[in-house]
Structure 1
Amino acid sequence: MSMLDKLKSMLKGHEEQTGKGIDKAGDYVDKRTQGKYSGQVDKGQDRLKDEFGGGGDKGQPPQS
């Protein structure tokens, strides 16, 4: 079993906490880089949420 499979199995059923953790980590990176890479950080957060769950807003239109 690969490391990614182990991570997925540990996070299964905890999508809300996973999403919060991903958001918190992204906010930390944005703060440390003074927002210089915020576009890349946002893309990374979206990909992690897709991979590990925690999206929470799938199927809903983006808010303006």
Structure 2
Amino acid sequence: MAIEDISKKAQEFLKDERVTKALKSEKAEKTSDSILDGIAAAADKASGGKFSGQIEDAKKAADKKIGNE
């Protein structure tokens, strides 16, 4: 399967109303917050804190796309 096929299928999947509702749920918010916090902490540790601001900005941007807050 080519990367274009995977990308197209992912885009179609994300357009489904059921998927959109699930991504905007409270459960998705809690789960995504936990995952994003872990990723941000790992990235901050790996970079020795040199990119804390950028990491926090990226975390906030991702958080806006998933969940309900």
Q: In which range does the TM-score fall when normalised by the shorter chain? A: 0.5 to 0.7
Alignment partner of 1:41 is 2:50 = no
Structure 1 residues 4 and 18: CA distance shift in structure 2, 3 A? farther
Higher relative helix content: 2
Q: TM-score, normalised by structure 2?
A: 0.62
Identity of aligned residues (%): 21
Query: RMSD across aligned C-alpha pairs, in angstroms?
Result: 2.5
Task: Please report how far the alpha carbon of residue 44 of structure 1 lies from its aligned counterpart in structure 2 after TM superposition.
Answer: 0.3
Q: Which runs of 5+ in 2 are unaligned?
A: 1-8
Q: TM-score, normalised by structure 1?
A: 0.67
d(CA) in 1 for partners of 2:43, 2:12: 23
Q: What do the CA deviations read for 1:3-61 (whole angstroms, capped 9, x no partner)?
A: 7827xx28623210111100110000000000000000000000000011264xxxxxx
Give the number of the structure whose alpha-carbon radius of gyration is greater. Answer: 2
Q: Which runs of 5+ in 1 are unaligned?
A: 56-64
